[in-house]
Amino acid sequence: MKQFLCAIVFIFCLLLSPTSSSQNSQDSLNHTNPELASELNNNTNTTLVRDTTITANNTEQQKQQTVVNTKETIIPSQGFSFSSLWRGILGMISLVFIAFLFSSNRKAINWRVVGIGLTFQLVIAIGVLKVGFVKSVFEIVGKLFVKILNFTQAGSKFLFEGLVVDMDTFGFIFAFQVLPTIIFFSALTSVLYYLGVIQIIVKGFGWLLSKLLKISGAESLSVAGNIFLGQTEAPLLIKAYLEKMNKSEMLLVMIGGMATVAGAVLAAI
C-alpha cells in the first residue's frame, strides 16, 4: 500500500513539474530581460486577438452559407393555378365524404348549409388570391399583426438580449421570442375582452354566420370566438347554453375549436 501511494505521489510530481518549471522560467525571464518578456506577451495577445477574429469571421461565413443553402432549398411558390384549385376542391370533397361515412344520421344532413359553407370558403380564397381590393384588405390586416409582432420582438430583445451570445439560435427563438409572443397576445386578448372589444367583434361574426349558414346563435358565437380565443376559452362564451345543446351542436362547437387556431398560437407560429 505504501509503495502504491508513493507511486501516485511520484506521478503527481511529474505532472506538476513542467508547470512549475515553465513558471520559474517565465519568472526568470521577467527578471533578466523585461523588454523581451513584454514583447513576448504582446505577441501572444496579438495572436489571441487574431485567432478570435478569424473564428468570428468563420462563424459569420458559416451563418451566411447556411442562409444561402436554406434559400436554395426553399421551393418557390407557383402561384394560383387550376391544378392547385382542383387539389383544394378534391380535399374538401374528401373531407365531406369522410364526414358523411361517419355520420350517425345521414338523412338529417342539411346539404344546403354544407354547400353554402364550402362556396363561401371558395369565394374568400379566390378573392384573396385574385381580387385586388380583397387582397389589399387582408394585406392591411396582416401588416397590423406584423407590427404588433414587432412590438413583441422589441420587448423580448430588451429583456433577454444580454443573456445570449447568438440570438439566431433555435433556443433563443423559442424561449425568448415564441413564449413571450404567446404571453403578450394572451394578455392583449384579455385586456380587449375586459374592455368589451372582443365581445363586439365576436357578436358581429356570430350574427353574420347565423344569417349566412342558418345555424343557432350559440353555435355561431362559439365558432366566431375561436378566431380570437382558444379551444378552451371560446366555449366559455356560451357556457349557459352548453347543457341545452344537442349532439350535432356540441359536435360543431368541438370541430370549430379543433379546426381553427387561436390568435396567440397563430402569432407564435
pLDDT for 81 beyond 60: yes
Greatest mean pLDDT among 12-21, 112-121, 202-211, 212-221: 112-121
Q: What DSSP string runs through 12-59?
A: HHHHHHHHHHHHHHHHHHHHH-HHHHHHHHHHHHHHHHHHHHHHHHHH
Helical (H) or strand (E) element with 224: helix 217-225
pLDDT for 14 beyond 60: no
In angstroms, rounded to a whole number, what is the distance separating the alpha carbons of residues 264 and 230? 8
* Tens digits of residue pLDDT in 40-60: 455 555 554 455 555 555 556
Q: Please tell me the total number of residues recorded for the chain in this structure.
A: 269
In angstroms, rounded to a whole number, what is the distance separating the alpha carbons of residues 186 and 263? 8
Q: Is the entire prediction scored with pTM above 0.75? A: no
* Tens digits of residue pLDDT in 109-146: 888 888 888 888 888 888 887 788 888 887 887 777 77
Reported confidence tier of residue 181, pLDDT bands at 50, 70, 90: confident
